[in-house]
Amino acid sequence: MAEEMILLKEAAREVELVSRRVALLHLSYAKMLTEEFGERHGKELILKAIKDYGKCIGEKRRDEIEERGMEPVPENFGKGDAMRIPRFGMHSRLEDSGRSMKLHGCVMGKLWREYGEEDLGKLYCYVDPAKYMGFNEYYIQVHEKAMPAGHEYCEFMVRPSTEAEKELFSSEEKDFSDIDLCLK
């Protein structure tokens, strides 16, 4: 069987299309939930779903890392292909220095701006602290800057989690949005 090759530009466009679709899917269910249940309760439900989504990502990544005989520490989170941000198509440029990362031109953030729905869109971004705490509750990835919060790019920082953040993450009753105040 012959291997088919495509240009990087074409592959990037395909990833961009999928990213836009995921952003629209999130926006559609977020709008429906806030219209159906009111803004406050709708956002609580959205955050509950995003927290579960992120937790699933983090737990899966932790299992993969441990199966390879490695410790679930931030330095190992991005090793290999699984669960990392795509290298192209989802953004225009990515600067990754290990525990901090700048993502320029986020396709999802641009779409939410295009629709004037940054407030609902940014709820998706809570996946980042949730995936890290699902991976290892002693670490959290927070946004120093986020496009849906009005910045020109997204900037993430991985740092040790606080006891209060661990409690917010493990609680079903507490407001999960307090875990990443840049997005609040």
CATH of the domain at 133: 3.30.1380
Q: Is residue 3 part of a domain?
A: no
Residue 2 within any structural domain of the chain: no
Question: Is 90 part of a structural domain of the chain?
Answer: yes
Check whether 18 has a pLDDT greater than 70.
Answer: yes
Q: Is 20 left (phi over 0), alpha (psi -120 to 50) or beta?
A: alpha
Q: How far is CA 66 from the centre of its chain?
A: 22
Where does the chain have alpha helices with state H?
A: 8-37, 39-67, 74-77, 107-114, 118-121, 127-135, 163-170
| CA dist list (Å): 170 to 57, 148, 181 | 16, 26, 17
In a domain, 27, yes or no: yes
For 113, the domain range is: 9-179
> Residues of the chain with pLDDT > 70: what percent?
96
The reply to whether 4 falls in a domain is no
> pTM (2 decimals)?
0.92
Residues 36-43 have a mean pLDDT of 97
Query: Rounded mean pLDDT of 161-176?
Result: 91
Phi, psi of 21 (to 5 degrees): -65, -40
In a domain, 58, yes or no: yes
Tell me whether residue 1 is in a domain.
no
Is 86 a domain residue?
yes
85: pLDDT strictly greater than 90 = no
**Into how many domains does the chain fold?**
1
Q: Rounded to an integer, what distance in angstroms lies between the CA atom of residue 13 and that of residue 179?
A: 33
Q: Which residues pair with 95 in a beta bridge?
A: 102
